Amino acid sequence: MKLSFSAADEAFRNEVADWLAANLCGEFEQIRYRGGPGDEHSYVQERKAWERKLHEGGWTGLGWPCAYGGRGATIEQQVIFNEEYARAGGPGRMGHIGETLTGPTLIAFGTEQQKQRFLPGILRGEDLWCQGYSEPSAGSDLANVKTRARYDEARGRWLITGQKVWTSLAHESQYCFVIARTDPASVGQKGLGFFLLAMDQPGIEVRPIEQLTGTSEFNEVFFDDAVCGADDIVGAPGEGWKVAMGLLGFERGVSTLGQQMLFQNEFDEVVRIARENGAAADPALRQRIADAHVGLRIMRFNSMRMLSGGGDDGSLSREAMIYKLYWATWHRNLGKLAMDVLGPESEILDGAPYQLNRLQSLFLFTRSDTIYGGTNQIQRNIIAERALGMPREPRG
Amino acid sequence: MDFRFTEEQEMIRATAEAFLADASNSAAVRQAMVTEQGHDPALWQKICSEMCWQAMHIPEAYGGLGLGYVELVATLEQMGRYLFCSPFYSSVCLAANALLVAGSEQQKTEYLSQLAAGTTGTLAYTGSSGRWDADAVEAVCVADGDGYRVSGSYRYVPDGHTAQLLVIAAREQGSVGAEGISLFVLPAATAGISRQWLPTMDQTRRQAQLVFDNLPVPATALMGEAGKGWSKLATILDLATVAIAADQVGGAQQSLDMTVDYLKERVQFGRVIASYQAVKHKTADMMVKVEASRSAVYYAACIADEALAGGPLGRELAEAASIAKAYCSDTYFFNAGCGIQLHGGVGFTAEYDIQLYFKRAKSTEIFLGNGAYHRERIARGLLEAHPADGAVEALT
Ligand SMILES: Cc1cc2nc3c(=O)[nH]c(=O)nc-3n(C[C@H](O)[C@H](O)[C@H](O)COP(=O)(O)OP(=O)(O)OC[C@H]3O[C@@H](n4cnc5c(N)ncnc54)[C@H](O)[C@@H]3O)c2cc1C
């Protein structure tokens, strides 16, 4: 076991830090630390400009192969970039769905033509993507999607009809990837397709949903014979589930260490307040603050194990299997701790009608961490079944 | 950065696992744990001559194998997993660590080579206050001619009644806290030391009481500078803390594994009880905790290696040890406690081994400070020491 980074990696770290210091300033100063989870509605135009700036610096598609315009960075370098980015207060990435989900999925499963067509726009920070998985009757039970894809022989294209829900950032996105049923007689994981759709067309309607935070990051998306090119299906019709699951595998990865740096920023804020307002003298809160620190450090150690683990066969190691349940639960607890440290001030808003400050937003938004991306209960099912070999849940 | 076992470390782990699964099976544990010395001397001899575990992290210059803390921790994890009853922990993780950290060249040459050859040893520092920090040291030493005289009684001393070599801490009359503490090393057979086994609830780990009544101790027994021993003792305790946390990870893992095995066999309401979701979710939580604990212990082991080698990351030792001990203590107790519950009535019998893990969970939780104790140590560092960055450095 070895904890330290190589000299070359440390040089890379300096390069990243220098670039951020030189560029994340001026017009971009105002978006530092903004636009993260719970704050995604903030500074949208500025953050889009920032995506283009990142591209100019060569910092998009960091882990993608050079052949597709990426930087071919090693895992260590990606970790370092994400750490430095968060340390510098880099804003929430508008392009993260495209860069971390669509891109790797196309690189792994897409045709050459799809790669040529879609990857450059993601790299340039121009094309933003959203994820059309969940539906009113397909949440945890994702395989229950009802949205239909019908091939229009006459005009050589797919027509999509149905409804998605909870679609984050659909109102800001140029494209959406959608799982839809290609075989109307099929049920469950069979008979699905994975489609790439342009959002700007008459067959698609986006309606925002107001969240308990008072803001609207996610939407309902209605498809009424929305058009998808014949070449814009990833994998064969009927093989959509395989692609959809492959994509979920990319959700856990190197961004996790950067995410932890954001958590660290939030935690430091809680510690700062505790020292200022006297909460640091309360024995029960001291225990919880220390517990949060312990939990965050271990989260880091665990991801270091996970990232060192190889696991090239695509199977998840034990430390990777626990990751989502662990961080989501930790983060939700941090939100509650922040309110308890603030005491009665935690109730007072920045302003009417419903202006939350950063920690209030943390408190409310972290209630969703244990829901999206597989709820805590679903995570526990997966751990018990796949890691511990216990019997599978009965299915209706 | 490569945070996983090397091939050689993995081999050491696997060898310990295979050896202990047989040599420390349930029958062997139950036989050893009811004897007064608390271990099987023939097995200890065999380990010392064939496996050489006792010499593992002692440098080659003193007759050891010159391996590191990661190898040690990998072995300790298996010892915890198989409830190994032996003087290993007291001899290696207390006595040998004490000599490595605080011994003079001459003391190392003399005593480390004895320990490397299989002499047993321990560390005595706690009186009866129930504390684990510097205030735990109650025994008093006074200068007497060339040497010293030590008076006082030590409680909770691991294997104190059988150890052949003693490292003891005593303080100057009237001193408090970290001031005035000295360390001495002396053969346990020194006339005038009275030693008594204290029968314990956890029968797999022996504790003893040692009474010193104005005992003469030669100047050559003093380790380091008189009255300045606390910083050394603090490091010894941190190293010992990492080691006991490794035992806890092994025990927590086995508590989970044996519980899952039982759940897959036991049938109620016409189904194996492993198929009930309430039961699955509990085991998933157990697994999350044990994997996170393992990450914490492996990280702490790397830091301990650095601390022993004088590397820069060594300054994190106190924090890493407290993180590991706080988390692993709570994990072990949770897993063993859930283990009894999920076994139902048989979990309450003497016959099933889960009760032995439950008791070892409690005794290792208390030893060297429980979760709350270590969280308070961390809280002090976070909330009081360094206003600037929230980093925990000087914890002691
Ligand atoms: C902030 C936010 C952003 C999101 N963004 C997107 C997005 O961009 N794209 C997208 O496609 N989706 C998105 N989602 C949707 C998210 O993936 C779903 O909400 C999630 O999968 C849960 O589905 P559901 O809401 O239908 O809840 P349900 O599946 O109805 O679950 C309700 C409750 O029942 C429990 N439950 C369900 N099944 C089981 C079971 N088998 N065993 C035990 N308990 C069970 C759940 O744990 C939960 O507590 C987002 C959600 C949120 C909150």
Q: Could you give the C-alpha distances from A96 to A26, A32, A49, A223, A245, in angstroms and in order?
A: 23, 17, 14, 24, 18
> Mean pLDDT across the stretch B358-371?
98
Q: Check if the beta carbon of residue A58 is closer than 8 Å to that of residue A106.
A: no
Predicted pLDDT at A41: 83
Q: Could you give the C-alpha distances from B319 to A33, B299, B303, in angstroms and in order?
A: 28, 11, 10
State the residue for tokens 């067959």.
A203
Q: Which domains does chain B have, with CATH numbers?
A: 7-119 (1.10.540.10), 122-223 (2.40.110.10), 230-395 (1.20.140.10)
Pocket of ligand 1, candidates A370, A371, A379: which has the most ligand atoms within 8 Å of its Cβ, to mutate? A371
pLDDT digits 0-9 by tens, B281-329: 999 999 999 999 999 999 999 999 999 999 999 999 999 999 999 999 9
Q: Nearest CA of chain A to the CA of B8: how many Å?
A: 11
CA atoms within 13 A on the CB side of B169: 34
**With contacts defined as CB-CB under 8 Å, which chain B residues touch A268?**
389-390
| pLDDT exceeds 50 at position B362 | yes
User: Among partner residues A298, A308, A390, which is closest to B292 by beta-carbon distance?
Assistant: A298
Query: Ligand 1 pocket, A248 CB below 6 A?
Result: no
Report the top-level CATH class of A129-238: mainly beta
List B residues 281-320 in contact with A (Cβ-Cβ < 8 A): 281, 283-285, 287-288, 291-296, 298-299, 301-303, 306, 313, 319
Of A15, A126, A251, A269, the catalytic one is A251
> Mean pLDDT across the stretch B349-365?
98
The CATH homologous superfamily to which domain A7-94 belongs is: Acyl-CoA dehydrogenase/oxidase, N-terminal domain (1.10.540.10)
User: Atom 43 (ligand 1): residue with closest C-alpha?
Assistant: A377
> Mean pLDDT across the stretch B40-46?
98
> Mean pLDDT across the stretch B228-248?
98
Predicted pLDDT at B394: 41
Could you report the predicted ipTM of this complex, rounded to two decimals?
0.95
* B312: exposed, middle or buried (Cβ count in 10 Å: 0-12, 13-18, 19+): exposed
Q: Could you give the C-alpha distances from A5 to A2, A38, A77, B301, B396, in angstroms and in order?
A: 8, 33, 10, 18, 28
**Where in chain A are all domains bearing CATH 1.20.140.10?**
252-387
Of A113, A114, A182, residue with least CA distance to A147: A182
* Closest ligand 1 atom number to CA of residue A373: 17
User: Among partner residues B288, B322, B390, which is closest to A271 by beta-carbon distance?
Assistant: B390
pLDDT digits 0-9 by tens, B166-187: 999 999 999 999 999 999 999 9
Predicted pLDDT at A320: 82
- CA-to-CA distance for A37 and A46, rounded, in angstroms? 17
pLDDT digits 0-9 by tens, B367-393: 999 999 999 999 999 998 654 443 444
| pLDDT exceeds 90 at position B267 | yes
| pLDDT exceeds 90 at position B251 | yes
The CATH homologous superfamily to which domain A252-387 belongs is: Butyryl-CoA Dehydrogenase, subunit A, domain 3 (1.20.140.10)
**Where in chain A are all domains bearing CATH 2.40.110.10?**
129-238
- CA-to-CA distance for A190 and B246, rounded, in angstroms? 46
Which residue ranges in chain A fall short of pLDDT 70? Answer: 251-255, 310-316
**Mean per-residue pLDDT of chain B:** 96
A251 is known as an active-site residue: yes
Are B379 and A290 an interchain contact pair (Cβ–Cβ within 8 Å)?
Answer: yes
Torsional sign, CA A74, A80, A86, A88: negative
pLDDT digits 0-9 by tens, B16-42: 999 999 999 999 999 999 999 999 999
**Residue B356: left (phi > 0), alpha (psi -120 to 50), or beta?**
alpha
State the residue for tokens 């799809």.
A114
Q: Check if the beta carbon of residue B354 is closer than 8 Å to that of residue B341.
A: no
Q: Which residues pair with B166 in a beta bridge?
A: B122, B186
Q: Nearest CA of chain B to the CA of A393: how many Å?
A: 7
| pLDDT exceeds 50 at position B269 | yes
**With contacts defined as CB-CB under 8 Å, which chain B residues touch A271?**
382-383, 390
- Phi, psi of B151, rounded to the nearest 5 degrees: -130, 140
* pTM, full prediction: 0.95
**Where in chain A are all domains bearing CATH 1.10.540.10?**
7-94
